[in-house]
């Protein structure tokens, strides 16, 4: 008898496909041999230039969403209640001005493609909408990672198809890593938010999260109506001994280690039941994948890559001694070590409504808390990858869930910008991306798209395409059902591709 999380399930020669899929939910993607072969047949490369040009991908997600007007779509001729107080400066990309608080990034914009015309109808904090194939989003989904309507995170799908391309063989190093800590786990007044999870691929398809080990070096007071946080802010500065470790191997992360130990225990239970399992090929594969998963997570190679304390001090300075900067540095090290997909989230810290969700005190937060850290981290990452000869193989995408209102809102905590999904910007660089161009445009106040409207689903389609994954195929859940990877209207943005 096999016991999974204290629920008995007997395995015998008459093992059903549904039973196997339920057990397979603890594997990466939960694929049986039959589903593996079926999905592998669908994973044939798509046609078109640039397919598979990117060997790796680093996703930089600015949770809460930056204003397009204070980054890459400034409107200096608009009224002051639109343009605000910040001034544009020229960048190395002719015709593209950026915010004055992005001076380092301005020097490398000629390596990038900027898309100014991303648009969709859901002005919510929907990481799930921005980064999965789900066709719509609402508040209840946003606040419930377990909602059955969710689709798997982009990184989880990349890992799924990559394993198919390997003929079902596990990788030698963890392939889907997320930094700096489990999503929405460092705020005290709201439930966990949805987005970066395995959904119908099973919990084991979740990204492998790190934990930040270090201290914030600058104190901050954050407040919104009814809530306050006073304490260290690692996004403003972090200690020199800061580094990262996998959450699953951190003895202080009791929940994570408990779940990890139970998976290890599950492998051991399979060893005891091997005489029954080895009668079926899927059973043998299951044992192999569980043992390999344990070895991958415990790999010294992963541990060493995340230990940025060994990195050159000048390189650490280049990225900025902030949590986001050092997370980007760790992302480069993970890619260099062999990880295919690394996600870096600029997440809320201390309370909800933080990070780039600037409903309150928009301009002080942009100047003091947000833009300087982004400026050093992203420019540092681009230059570091370029100097190491890694930029052509590594796709870097800076994105968020929406933009912010063109008109500055007044409120009791100072002027702010609210949610706005009708027009906002995204940045692509490296990994088969054309250099030095701007795609799309908006009206005189960055309110609505006037040229080349682009859906977030098309951003994902382009990312999949560059990574060598056909975006127009189905994906098989642990329940045996097939789902479209992306909605039918998702298109590869050909102008992005070199």
- What digits encode the pLDDT tens for the residues 4-42? 333 333 333 333 433 333 333 334 444 444 444 444 444
Gap between the Cα atoms of 286 and 24, Å rounded:
7
* Letter string b/e over residues 184-211, b meaning 16 or more CB atoms within 10 A of that residue's CB: bebbeeeeebbbbbbbbbbbbbbbbbbb
pLDDT computed for residue 268 by the predictor: 53
State yes or no: pLDDT of 457 exceeds 70.
yes
Query: Does residue 12 lie in a domain region?
Result: no
State yes or no: pLDDT of 298 exceeds 90.
no
Angle ∠(229,235,240) on CA atoms, nearest 5: 120
pLDDT computed for residue 278 by the predictor: 41
- Please spell the DSSP secondary structure of 118-165, one letter per residue: E--S--S--HHHHHB--S---HHHHT-TT-TT---BHHHHHHHHHHHH
Angle ∠(361,425,74) on CA atoms, nearest 5: 60
Query: Does residue 141 lie in a domain region?
Result: yes
- What digits encode the pLDDT tens for the residues 113-144? 999 999 999 999 989 999 999 999 999 999 99
Query: Does residue 14 lie in a domain region?
Result: no
Evaluate whether 459 touches 399 at the Cβ level (below 8 Å): yes
pLDDT computed for residue 24 by the predictor: 39
Gap between the Cα atoms of 348 and 188, Å rounded:
10
Helix-then-strand count for the chain, H and E: 16, 21
Query: Does residue 291 lie in a domain region?
Result: no
Gap between the Cα atoms of 277 and 287, Å rounded:
9
pLDDT computed for residue 409 by the predictor: 87
- Partners of 497 in the β-ladder: 433
Q: Name the 3-class secondary structure at 181.
A: coil
List Cβ neighbours of 9 (8 Å cut-off, separation of 6 or more).
1, 2, 3, 19, 22, 23
pLDDT computed for residue 192 by the predictor: 84
State yes or no: pLDDT of 385 exceeds 60.
yes
Gap between the Cα atoms of 186 and 351, Å rounded:
8
Structure tokens at 140: 């209840």
Go through the chain and tell me how many residues it has: 498
Rounded CA Rg of the chain: 22
pLDDT computed for residue 293 by the predictor: 60
* Domain boundaries, position 129: 46-240+313-496
More confident: 7 or 247: 247
CA atoms within 13 A on the CB side of 475: 32
Structural domain count of the chain: 1
Q: At what angle do helices 281-297 and 33-42 cross, to 10 degrees?
A: 80
Percent of the chain past pLDDT 70, that is, above it, reads: 79
State yes or no: pLDDT of 393 exceeds 70.
yes
Query: Does residue 6 lie in a domain region?
Result: no
Query: Does residue 255 lie in a domain region?
Result: no
Gap between the Cα atoms of 245 and 243, Å rounded:
7
Evaluate whether 349 touches 187 at the Cβ level (below 8 Å): yes
pLDDT computed for residue 307 by the predictor: 97
Share the mean pLDDT of the chain.
85
State yes or no: pLDDT of 444 exceeds 60.
yes
Percent of the chain past pLDDT 90, that is, above it, reads: 70
Q: 121: exposed, middle or buried (C-beta count within 10 Å: 0-12, 13-18, 19+)?
A: exposed
pTM reported for the whole predicted model? 0.85
More confident: 377 or 192: 377
Structure tokens at 11: 């395995």
Query: Does residue 486 lie in a domain region?
Result: yes
Residues 214-241 have a mean pLDDT of 91
- CATH code of residue 76: 3.40.720.10
Structure tokens at 165: 């391309």
Gap between the Cα atoms of 389 and 193, Å rounded:
37
Structure tokens at 227: 């809530």
More confident: 149 or 280: 149
pLDDT computed for residue 247 by the predictor: 81
- What digits encode the pLDDT tens for the residues 326-345? 999 999 999 999 999 999 99
Helix H, strand E, coil C: the string for 284-351 is HHHHHHHHHHHHHHCCHHHHHHHCHHHCCHHHHHHHCCCHHHHHHHHHHHHHHHCCCEEEEEECCCEC
- What digits encode the pLDDT tens for the residues 57-73? 999 999 999 999 999 99
Structure tokens at 131: 């980064």
Please state the separation of Cα 233 from the chain's center in Å.
Answer: 22
Query: Does residue 275 lie in a domain region?
Result: no
Gap between the Cα atoms of 197 and 148, Å rounded:
12
- Partners of 209 in the β-ladder: 178
Gap between the Cα atoms of 331 and 306, Å rounded:
8
Q: 285: exposed, middle or buried (C-beta count within 10 Å: 0-12, 13-18, 19+)?
A: buried
Residues 157-183 have a mean pLDDT of 92
């Amino acid at each position: 008898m096999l016991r999974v999380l204290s629920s008995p399930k007997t395995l015998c020669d008459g093992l059903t496909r549904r039973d196997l899929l339920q057990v397979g939910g603890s594997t990466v993607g939960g694929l049986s041999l039959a589903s593996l072969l079926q999905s592998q047949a669908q994973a044939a490369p798509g046609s078109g230039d640039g397919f598979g040009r990117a060997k790796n991908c680093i996703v930089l997600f600015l949770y809460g969403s930056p204003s397009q007007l204070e980054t890459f779509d400034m409107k200096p001729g608009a009224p002051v209640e639109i343009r605000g107080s910040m001034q544009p400066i020229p960048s190395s990309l002719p015709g593209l001005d950026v915010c004055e608080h992005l001076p380092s990034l301005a020097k490398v914009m000629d390596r990038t493609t900027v898309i100014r015309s991303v648009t969709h109808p859901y002005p919510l904090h929907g990481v799930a909408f921005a980064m999965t194939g789900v066709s719509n989003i609402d508040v209840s989904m946003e606040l419930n990672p377990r909602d059955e309507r969710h689709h798997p995170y982009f990184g989880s799908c990349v890992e799924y198809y990559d394993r198919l391309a390997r003929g079902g063989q596990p990788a030698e190093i963890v392939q889907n890593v997320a930094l700096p800590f489990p999503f929405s786990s460092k705020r005290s007044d709201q439930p966990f938010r949805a987005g970066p999870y395995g959904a119908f691929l099973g919990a084991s398809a979740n990204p492998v999260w790190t934990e930040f080990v270090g201290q914030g070096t600058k104190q901050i007071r954050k407040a919104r109506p009814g809530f306050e946080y006073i304490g260290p802010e690692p996004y403003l500065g972090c200690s020199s001994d800061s580094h990262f470790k996998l959450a699953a191997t951190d003895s202080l992360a009791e929940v994570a280690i408990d779940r990890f130990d139970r998976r290890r225990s599950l492998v051991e239970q399979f060893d005891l039941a091997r005489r029954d399992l080895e009668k079926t090929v899927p059973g043998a594969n299951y044992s192999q994948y569980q043992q390999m998963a344990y070895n991958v997570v415990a790999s010294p190679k992963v541990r060493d890559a995340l230990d940025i304390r060994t990195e050159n001090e000048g390189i650490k300075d280049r990225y900025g001694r902030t949590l986001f900067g050092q997370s980007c540095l760790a992302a480069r090290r993970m890619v260099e070590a062999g990880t295919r997909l690394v996600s870096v989230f600029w997440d809320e810290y201390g309370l909800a409504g933080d990070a780039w969700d600037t409903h309150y005190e928009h301009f002080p937060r942009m100047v003091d808390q947000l833009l300087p850290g982004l400026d050093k981290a992203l420019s540092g990452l681009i230059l570091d990858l370029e100097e190491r000869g890694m930029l052509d193989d590594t796709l870097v995408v800076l994105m968020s869930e929406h933009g912010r209102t063109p008109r500055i809102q007044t409120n009791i905590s100072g002027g702010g910008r609210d949610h706005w999904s009708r027009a906002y910007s995204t940045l692509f660089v490296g990994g088969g991306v054309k250099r030095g161009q701007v795609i799309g445009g908006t009206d005189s106040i960055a309110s609505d798209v006037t040229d080349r409207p682009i859906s977030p689903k098309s951003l994902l389609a382009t990312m999949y395409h560059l990574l060598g994954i056909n975006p127009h195929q189905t994906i098989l859940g642990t329940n045996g059902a097939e789902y479209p990877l992306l909605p039918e209207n998702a298109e590869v943005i050909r102008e992005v591709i070199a």
